[in-house]
């Protein structure tokens, strides 16, 4: 049995007549009849029943026809892929946490002229690192630094508070360029739930304790109904980045938060590019776009960690970590 026989069989079924199928295939009617006879002999069962107006499939023919069509379609897809060069395209999977600016990602993920394509998978850090270990991701953009993989700080975003324009707090802050931890004294503060952006709880609660600021913390998952959730829990402010504020709190006012955490670092959300050791050349090419300095959006806080300081596990080489500098959200 060969592809030519299967193709001929499918055409005979489609036309319902041997002579019309022969015309379509540009072969003689006797030659096509011999092909069908040879195919039936190989299968060991009649595939076509002849009648006065042509032919129709037997039960065996119906079973073979469905498989033949699927096989021919798959083969045509392979041929088309080879002709287009699609088989040479490498797929790269990148994990993305909620809240990264699209413009920042788009600047680094263009595949024009490259031999790879990028797929984005939105997931929190814990899930990303599991997928990275399972080799389901090539690069994880994680909210914390990994101890198990090569990693490099690639992006930082200032944390801020969102408040309603009609609130008394907005009246207090509207002439100021930023808010401080002390401004949240006694307030009900809404933040991402523990499973979403855990860094907000860890950094900010410790920072406020260190500064002697008392506030009531409410943790919820941010999304489409964040503003409604804030109303229902009677939150005075919500803590988030500027990008997430625009997405989750439309109509609210975002004000950057200035201060230091308990370790003396700026109040920012950091993102690290994290990857498996010995990445492919295509992944290395893409990593360089994250680890070399590019134009950063206004909300970015430029990182100070030199690329040469990118952390890698012992005895691990990291091609991307020898190229340049980078930042995180």
Name the domain count of the chain.
2
**Which conformational region is residue 190 in: left (phi greater than 0), alpha (psi within -120 to 50 degrees), or beta?**
beta
Same domain, yes or no, for 120 and 139? yes
Question: Is residue 276 a part of any domain in this protein?
Answer: yes
Same domain, yes or no, for 64 and 21? yes
pLDDT value of position 65: 92
pLDDT in tens, 156-179: 988 899 998 888 888 888 788 899
Q: Which of 62, 84, 106 is the last residue of a domain?
A: 84
* Pairing status of strand 188-192 against strand 216-220: parallel
Same domain, yes or no, for 114 and 95? yes
pLDDT value of position 295: 40
pLDDT in tens, 46-67: 989 988 888 889 999 899 998 9
Question: Is residue 234 a part of any domain in this protein?
Answer: no
Question: Is residue 80 a part of any domain in this protein?
Answer: yes
Residue 267 pLDDT > 50:
yes
Structure confidence at residue 191 as a pLDDT band (50, 70, 90): confident
pLDDT value of position 194: 53
Residue that wins the pLDDT comparison between 310 and 281: 281
pLDDT value of position 200: 58
pLDDT value of position 323: 30
DSSP code for 86? G
Same domain, yes or no, for 14 and 46? yes
pLDDT value of position 175: 81
Q: What is the residue-averaged pLDDT of the chain?
A: 80
Q: Is the pTM of this model over 0.75?
A: no
Same domain, yes or no, for 14 and 145? no
Average pLDDT over residues 57-85: 83
Residue 314 pLDDT > 60:
no
Q: Which of 39, 60, 84 is the last residue of a domain?
A: 84
Residue 130 belongs to domain with CATH number: 3.40.190.10
Q: Which long-range CB contacts under 8 A does 308-316 form with residues at least 24 apart?
A: 310/150, 310/151, 310/152, 310/153, 311/145, 311/150, 311/151, 311/152, 312/150, 312/151, 312/277, 313/147, 313/148, 313/149, 313/150, 313/277, 316/150, 316/277
Same domain, yes or no, for 7 and 147? no
Q: Which residues constitute the domain of residue 49? A: 3-84
Same domain, yes or no, for 136 and 101? yes
Q: Which of 84, 112, 135 is the last residue of a domain?
A: 84
Residue that wins the pLDDT comparison between 310 and 279: 279
């Amino acid at each position: 049995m060969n592809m030519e026989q299967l193709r001929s069989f499918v055409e005979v079924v489609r036309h319902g007549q041997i002579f019309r199928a022969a015309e379509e295939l540009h072969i003689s009617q006797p030659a096509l009849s011999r092909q069908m006879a040879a195919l039936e002999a190989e299968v060991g069962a009649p595939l076509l029943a002849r009648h006065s107006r042509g032919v129709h499939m037997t039960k065996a023919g119906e079973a073979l026809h469905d498989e033949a069509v699927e096989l021919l379609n798959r083969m045509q897809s392979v041929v088309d892929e080879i002709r287009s060069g699609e088989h040479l395209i490498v797929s790269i999977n990148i994990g993305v946490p909620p809240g990264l600016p699209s413009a920042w990602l788009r600047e680094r993920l263009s595949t024009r002229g490259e031999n790879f394509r990028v797929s984005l998978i939105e997931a929190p850090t814990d899930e990303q690192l599991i997928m990275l270990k399972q080799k389901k991701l090539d690069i994880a953009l994680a909210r914390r630094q990994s101890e198990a993989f090569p990693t490099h700080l690639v992006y930082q975003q200032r944390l801020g508070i969102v408040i309603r324009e009609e609130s008394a707090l907005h009246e207090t802050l509207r002439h100021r360029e930023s808010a401080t931890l002390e401004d949240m004294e006694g307030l009900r503060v809404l933040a991402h739930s523990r499973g979403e952006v855990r860094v907000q709880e860890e950094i900010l609660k410790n920072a406020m304790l260190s500064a002697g600021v008392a506030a009531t913390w409410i943790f919820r998952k941010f999304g489409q109904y964040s503003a409604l959730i804030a109303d229902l829990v009677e939150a005075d402010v919500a803590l988030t980045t500027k990008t997430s504020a625009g997405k989750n709190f439309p109509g609210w006012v975002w004000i950057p938060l200035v201060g230091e955490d308990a370790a003396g670092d700026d109040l920012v959300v950091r993102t690290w590019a994290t990857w498996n050791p010995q990445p492919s050349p295509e992944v290395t090419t893409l990593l360089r776009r994250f680890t070399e300095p590019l134009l950063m959006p206004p909300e970015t806080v430029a990182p100070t960690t030199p690329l040469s300081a990118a952390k890698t596990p012992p005895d691990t080489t990291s091609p991307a970590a020898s190229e340049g500098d980078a930042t995180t959200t």
